[in-house]
Amino acid sequence: MLPTLEVKDRILIEKISPKLPSHTERILKRGSVVVFKPPKELIEAGYDKNSALIKRIVGLPGDQIEVHMGQLIRNGTPVSESWRKQPMKYEMSKITIPKDSLWVLGDNRNNSLDSHLWGALPEKNVLGRAIWRYWPLKRFGPIRFPTHENV
């Protein structure tokens, strides 16, 4: 998740709101950083089922996602990611995110085991949202999220 999170960062995870029914407003939004249980595709490939992964939500159910010429495209519009220092070095054909699923990508897009390799993440796998960094103290504070939907 570089540059957002570094290897030895310690973070606080908010686990209640992702489990609440979200009939009027989505709790899990584009740009949120989520911690989740590995999807079945990773477990079947030998990944530890008790591990937890962390990635950024870039797509919600019904969104169309693709990667073309180094650019993430959602619903036909290029996604602005000012923090990303280099273009994505892979192509991904357009997919529509299924109901009750999310598309998650690591912030270090060219070195991330994420949805572009194993597919949509079932929402039921989400353990919580990363909200606060408490270590190291020099980086203590909220985990910054973009303030607009173009994430």
What pLDDT is attached to residue 16? 75
What pLDDT is attached to residue 85? 77
What pLDDT is attached to residue 41? 93
What pLDDT is attached to residue 7? 67
What pLDDT is attached to residue 49? 92
What pLDDT is attached to residue 86? 85
Q: How far is CA 31 from the centre of its chain?
A: 7
User: What are the structural domains, with CATH classification, of the chain?
Assistant: 10-61+98-142 (2.10.109.10)
What pLDDT is attached to residue 23? 43
Q: Which long-range contacts (CB under 8 A, 24 or more apart) does 135-140 make?
A: 135/8, 135/9, 135/10, 136/8, 136/9, 139/6, 139/9
- pLDDT under 50 in the chain at which residues? 23-24, 146-151
Looking only at the bridges linking them, the beta strands covering 126-135 and 33-36 are antiparallel
What pLDDT is attached to residue 5? 66
| Token couple for 94 | 């357009």
